[in-house]
Amino acid sequence: MITRIDHIGIACRDLDASIDFYRRTYGFEVFHQEVNEEQGVKEAMLRISGTDDGGSSYLQLLEPIRPDSAIAKYLAKNGEGVHHVAFGTADVRAETAAATDAGVRALYPEPRRGTSGSTINFLHPKDCQGILTELVQSAEATPEH
């Protein structure tokens, strides 16, 4: 079951400049920063609100650290903007299986590590009405089964 919009993933060319933009314009602050070598990004999570499943909603700002990363390719093709939408769930495996049963392809055969020790998978944008969709299980979330 999907229980929140976990985050909106935003491709940016300069992470520090984007953090500065969101601080100046809306007062958003950095909740967490990390480098994800596997995904080829450095990133900042800006927490926007809590959600009634006990989680939170964030903006995730993503700057590529390698020219072959998915974010670098996105920027070269589209420029800065919304890269993906991430839904939060207590069980990323079950949610991925449900999507697959509905005819939607997952990008990974097994979930991978996401931000802050979360477990994630992605659903193919061509199967999701043009939207690259991430499924996120927080590190602290307990599987339902």
Query: Active-site residue among 39, 43, 63, 137?
Result: 43
Which of the residues 14 through 73 are near a second copy (CB under 8 A)? 18, 21, 24-28, 48-53, 57
2 binds a second copy (CB under 8 A): yes
Rounded to whole angstroms, how far apart are CA atoms 20 and 13?
A: 13
Instruction: Give the span between the Cα atoms of 3 and 80, in whole angstroms.
Output: 28
Distance, CA of 34 to CA of 107 (rounded, Å): 23
Could you list the active site residues?
Answer: 7, 43, 60, 84, 134
Which residues contact a second copy (rule: CB under 8 A)? 1-5, 8, 10, 12, 18, 21, 24-28, 48-53, 57, 78-82, 85, 87, 95, 98-99, 102, 104, 125, 128-131
